[in-house]
Structure 1
Amino acid sequence: MAELRKKAAETPAEPAARSVRVVVLALMITMLLAMLDNLIVGTAMPTIVGDLGGLEHLSWVVTAYTLATAASTPIWGKLGDLYGRKGVFLTSIVIFLIGSVLSGMAQDMGQLIGFRAVQGLGAGGLMVGVMAILGDLVPPRERGRYQGMMAGVMAIAMIGGPLVGGTITDHLGWRWSFYINIPLGAVALAMVTAVLHLPRKERSTARVDYLGAALLTVGITAIVLVTTWGGTEYAWSSAVIMELIALGVASLVGFVFVETKAAEPIMPLHIFRSRNFTLMSVVGFMTGFVMFGAVLFLPLYQQSVQGASATNSGLLLLPMLLAMMIVSLVAGRITTGTGKYKIFPIAGSVLMVGGLLLLATMDTGTSRLTSGVYMAVLGAGMGFLMQITMLVAQNSVELKDMGVASSATTLFRTLGSSFGVAIMGALFTGRVQDEMAARGGAAVTEGSAQLDAASLAKLPDAAREAYEYAVASGTHIAFLVGGSVAVIALVAALFVKEVPLRGAAEPQTPATGPEEAAAGSTGPEDSTGTKPSPPAKASQNA
């Protein structure tokens, strides 16, 4: 009994349910900030270019934000582990809001790109902070319910983002697509400051792993630039792309070497000793690969082939996003009730593969109802996977590594999305151009493979029909490859080890194996199978 009481004392007590709900509301608002931004700004981009000029630099408005977000994600996670999550999280919100204000005040495209990088730097800490704080506040068995709510926020952002962006741009001007972050951010700041109470961390005396952070940043930047520029700005075989690949590989190899020597590594490699954590990283990468590819190509198919309006582009994804939100909430509830989760990544991977293969069968005669059913199947699969991957990853590490686990999982999903958009986009564009060369004539193939509605309406009937066929063919190959890649997620999910999640009131039982140790709040065992000593008991913040 004494041993059980000691173990229970080492686990942070669950906050009052009411306080948790208020904090979760603040976290959801913050997550909404990060999710909405690119969607709103994307809708406003034509107006921004018309006002500021600099069309040739248009892609950098998005690229600068994405690069800063991806590169800073693991750094924010580690800083939270070292110096306390609340202060680091509040700092990321403030930086994001500063970047938003400056972006809204930009007078030329160069300023906007620089300020978007500042905004992305803050955004890197938002998602990581939300997930890591949730991991600190809520016991593992209860966490699925709240993470299901986070998936709902993601779906709402994807549906509402383009609509909100279009409305703001039309009635208030494009600068308000950035200023809209201020009231939401202010509410989140006030709520987090007032109600969030986490165990106080003693200031770490360990030296920050600056070299590891620099190498990881260079490596991530090179990867994102390769996937962003490859096949668009530069040919895949061009010297620039080859140099970026070499730089990325060299940086990441150097990063791994540095991490084995650092006293306090920016991303401790020992977290990958946990089988479940490594498998969830693979599943998260594949989910990002599939999800953002689908978000890119489904509206394009519906607009070009099915004649849907681009104005309500967010609504085109409604079947997929609603299915994702509902399934995620249900999976979270079941996880909370049973403490078990292995069935969800398996079921999710099966549905994801099935949905992609169904989408690959779409042609010029596919109805909106049929495509909507296919999208719902894909959305249900992603609903099973989106938050379960984070939940299992967090429970495969020690509490002291909660931040780096959350940031690593987020990073793998982000990199997966970059690869998905690049690979599926290259295949789509190549197929469209090939089909148009055979059917529609050179006049179209010399232009973009993605024509807007106005350009499409100006084409002769024969050319337009050829283009519709080409888009359907491009969609087919993109989703076929996506389905094939998603099989990797299914294989990884099959090897996940089922460990019932510990509930708030349950004492931790002695671990009997590698992943059983991860089920407790004190984390997994080391590579020898020996459970490490629990972290020092933290004093509670008043």
Structure 2
Amino acid sequence: MTTAIEPVDAAGADGGRMSRREILQALSGLMVGMFVAILASTVVANALPRIIADLNGSQTVYTWIVTSELLAMTATVPLWGKMADLYSKKLLIQLSLGLFVLGSLVAGLTPNVEVLLVSRVIQGIGAGGMTALAMIVMAAMIPPRELGRYAGIFGAVFGVGTIAGPLIGGVLVDTSWLGWRWCFLIGVPFSLISIFLLQRTLHLPIIRRKARIDWAGAALITAGVSTLLIWSSLAGHKFAWASGWTALMVVGGLTLLVVAVWVESRAAEPIIPLEIFRSRTVTLTTVASMLVGVALFGGTVFLSQYFQTSLGKSPTIAGLMSLPMILGLLVSSTIAGQLITKYGRWKAYLVAGAAVMVVAMLLLSTIDIDTPLPLLFSYMALLGIGVGMLMQNLVLAAQNDVPAHELGAATSVLTFFRSMGGAIGVSALGAVLANRVTSLMTAQLGPAAGATDGGTTEVPDLSTLPEPVLRIVQNAYATATSELFLIGAPIAFLALLAVLFIREKPLHTLSGDERARQEANLPVAH
């Protein structure tokens, strides 16, 4: 449907392209915001046992402190993306950071677990906005042909946030005069700095559109996705995968999503415009993003557990051991981005990245308790190289294929499906790991071991185990972890098939803002 478009605000009336210096200044605010969003999901990991002990929470609460933020973040990404196509991107990204500040303050000052869970939902909504809007704002400022050279900066922030999170969390928890509450409060100053920087440096013209949000579609999408994510987080330990609860939640979630599609197909301004899926590139990159989410997050999230349980490393050392994968990601995303900007060709990097990811998954499926660390690190670096070439460029391919007024929707759809794939992958493969560990330990130690483990993903206290039992437990976790990568390999192969069928198109030389002005028949200044 064609929507009426009004003239741009006076603030952006010149429509001029931002200089490289202005882009880098604006990126500084975006990068700080992205760092905060990533930090929120990683800094709390080492603090959870202390939080649960101090607030008298249960194992269920332990799970939901993580899951509640993930649910809110994933479910609200499409709504943020749609609003970015209708309203001021600058205002929206500052609003998302403001919500994150509010959630962080409430979490840091929480008196009980109930308030903490509410605050994590608020944090998740803010982080969802930041995750979706950062790439949308970049696409508005920078032409696809030039976007590659900035991808390495995003990769660096992602890597630093991922590595620094657990390390910062561990230090804060172990520092008596700070404590676990600062795992939440530490994000507040960073968020405020980001809001200030964006106010000073981000200058995007606002093309006013007479439109309204499809709130019914938003509610149905959120409810359907939340139901499926709650099911995937509870199945396997709260109830069996093949059970009445599974049938009820899966059928209920899918029914809500089918109704959402029906509502969206008739809405004047759908949250996810279904016509974007008429583009083969958008459809295939969406499928690939979800498969990458399942394979990557479902496999790598358990590497830290393998380091600590099978190899006996401390949480801090386990965090540092992820460095080879992050470095591989940084190097490949930076080099691929520069080459794409220079030559304008991008499909080869998608195919190569997916192929390398499949090989790395197969190699990681061979690890055990005695795998030499140099060999393990080389496999992880290879996985990082594949991911670095693949993930960011899937977004680039989709953004290059849609009209400017659908940039937000297309970007958020890819982010949404990648997050959803990751959430389902973590839950499903986590249940596989728990059940496999239980069966391996039962085979070695008898039924009592399986009953003690109970099919949960709780890591045993290695310091209390006698040497023979310790070796069995370590071997069980190593074997189960390697099998997760064996499951992840064919999933990654399906992602490779998806990117093989993407048709390469020349990259636009106009930014998203310039294309929007062109589509609105407004003058474009260079």
| TM-score range relative to shorter protein | over 0.9
**Structure 1 residues 169-216: Cα deviation after superposition (integer angstroms, max 9, x where no partner):** 2221111111111111111101111111112121x3323201111110
Q: In the TM superposition, what is the alpha-carbon distance from 1:156 to its structure 2 partner?
A: 1.1
2:516 equivalent to 1:536: no
Separation in 2, partners of 1:110, 1:307:
34
Q: In the TM superposition, what is the alpha-carbon distance from 1:534 to its structure 2 partner?
A: 5.5
Separation in 2, partners of 1:35, 1:208:
28
**Structure 1 residues 445-470: Cα deviation after superposition (integer angstroms, max 9, x where no partner):** 223355546x2232232222222222
With 473-482 and 231-240 compared, the bigger mean Cα shift is at 231-240
2:70 equivalent to 1:28: no
Letter in 2 for 1:417: G
Separation in 2, partners of 1:42, 1:364:
24
- Summarize the alignment of residues 301-320 of structure 1 with structure 2, pairs less than 5 Å apart: 301-320=306-325
| 1:68 and 1:121 in contact (8 A); partners too | yes
Q: Which residue in 2 is equivalent to 1:15?
A: 18
2:409 equivalent to 1:404: yes
2:189 equivalent to 1:183: yes
**Structure 1 residues 210-229: Cα deviation after superposition (integer angstroms, max 9, x where no partner):** 11111100111012112111
2:55 equivalent to 1:66: no
Separation in 2, partners of 1:537, 1:46:
58
Separation in 2, partners of 1:163, 1:477:
28
Q: In the TM superposition, what is the alpha-carbon distance from 1:520 to its structure 2 partner?
A: 12
With 333-342 and 296-305 compared, the bigger mean Cα shift is at 296-305
| 1:67 and 1:224 in contact (8 A); partners too | yes
Q: In the TM superposition, what is the alpha-carbon distance from 1:162 to its structure 2 partner?
A: 0.3
Letter in 2 for 1:233: K
Q: Which residue in 2 is equivalent to 1:222?
A: 227
Percent identical:
37
Separation in 2, partners of 1:97, 1:364:
42
Separation in 2, partners of 1:406, 1:425:
28
| 2:265 and 2:274 in contact (8 A); partners too | yes
The alpha-carbon distance between structure 1 residues 294 and 321, as it changes in their structure 2 partners (threshold 3 A), is: farther
**Residue 503 of structure 1: SS of its match in structure 2?**
coil
**Structure 1 residues 416-469: Cα deviation after superposition (integer angstroms, max 9, x where no partner):** 10121122222222221111111122333223355546x223223222222222
- Summarize the alignment of residues 41-120 of structure 1 with structure 2, pairs less than 5 Å apart: 41-56=44-59, 57-120=61-124
2:112 equivalent to 1:128: no
2:459 equivalent to 1:456: no
**Structure 1 residues 377-423: Cα deviation after superposition (integer angstroms, max 9, x where no partner):** 11111111121011111111111111111111110110110121122
Separation in 2, partners of 1:50, 1:24:
40
TM-score (norm 1): 0.90
- RMSD (Å), alpha carbons: 2.2
| 1:148 and 1:387 in contact (8 A); partners too | no
Separation in 2, partners of 1:538, 1:72:
32
Separation in 2, partners of 1:30, 1:294:
27
Q: Which residue in 1 is equivalent to 2:4?
A: none
- Summarize the alignment of residues 410-449 of structure 1 with structure 2, pairs less than 5 Å apart: 410-448=415-453
- Summarize the alignment of residues 354-365 of structure 1 with structure 2, pairs less than 5 Å apart: 354-365=359-370
**Structure 1 residues 206-256: Cα deviation after superposition (integer angstroms, max 9, x where no partner):** 232011111100111012112111112221123222211111110110111
Q: In the TM superposition, what is the alpha-carbon distance from 1:291 to its structure 2 partner?
A: 2.2
Letter in 1 for 2:388: G
The alpha-carbon distance between structure 1 residues 469 and 170, as it changes in their structure 2 partners (threshold 3 A), is: closer
Q: In the TM superposition, what is the alpha-carbon distance from 1:40 to its structure 2 partner?
A: 0.7
The number of equivalent residue pairs is 508
With 238-247 and 474-483 compared, the bigger mean Cα shift is at 238-247
| 1:502 and 1:520 in contact (8 A); partners too | no
Separation in 2, partners of 1:406, 1:340:
20
From 228, 253, 259, give the equivalent of 1:254. 259
Separation in 2, partners of 1:351, 1:139:
28
Separation in 2, partners of 1:305, 1:80:
45
From 193, 202, 207, give the equivalent of 2:199. 193
Q: In the TM superposition, what is the alpha-carbon distance from 1:290 to its structure 2 partner?
A: 2.1
2:144 equivalent to 1:140: yes
Q: In the TM superposition, what is the alpha-carbon distance from 1:500 to its structure 2 partner?
A: 2.4
Q: In the TM superposition, what is the alpha-carbon distance from 1:310 to its structure 2 partner?
A: 2.3
Q: Which residue in 2 is equivalent to 1:348?
A: 353
Q: In the TM superposition, what is the alpha-carbon distance from 1:297 to its structure 2 partner?
A: 1.7
**Residue 312 of structure 1: SS of its match in structure 2?**
helix
TM-score (norm 2): 0.92
Separation in 2, partners of 1:341, 1:21:
23
| 2:100 and 2:127 in contact (8 A); partners too | yes
2:258 equivalent to 1:274: no
Q: Which residue in 2 is equivalent to 1:512?
A: none
Q: In the TM superposition, what is the alpha-carbon distance from 1:161 to its structure 2 partner?
A: 0.6
Gaps of 5+ in 1: 1-9, 506-518, 524-532
The alpha-carbon distance between structure 1 residues 433 and 12, as it changes in their structure 2 partners (threshold 3 A), is: farther
Gaps of 5+ in 2: 1-12
The alpha-carbon distance between structure 1 residues 336 and 392, as it changes in their structure 2 partners (threshold 3 A), is: same
Letter in 2 for 1:105: L
The alpha-carbon distance between structure 1 residues 233 and 538, as it changes in their structure 2 partners (threshold 3 A), is: farther
Separation in 1, partners of 2:15, 2:280:
26
Q: In the TM superposition, what is the alpha-carbon distance from 1:90 to its structure 2 partner?
A: 1.1
Q: Which residue in 2 is equivalent to 1:39?
A: 42
The alpha-carbon distance between structure 1 residues 47 and 236, as it changes in their structure 2 partners (threshold 3 A), is: same
Letter in 2 for 1:68: A
Letter in 2 for 1:49: I
Letter in 1 for 2:75: A
| 1:288 and 1:420 in contact (8 A); partners too | yes
Q: Which residue in 2 is equivalent to 1:7?
A: none
The alpha-carbon distance between structure 1 residues 15 and 395, as it changes in their structure 2 partners (threshold 3 A), is: same
With 407-416 and 456-465 compared, the bigger mean Cα shift is at 456-465
Letter in 1 for 2:190: L
Separation in 1, partners of 2:392, 2:168:
25
| 1:142 and 1:336 in contact (8 A); partners too | yes
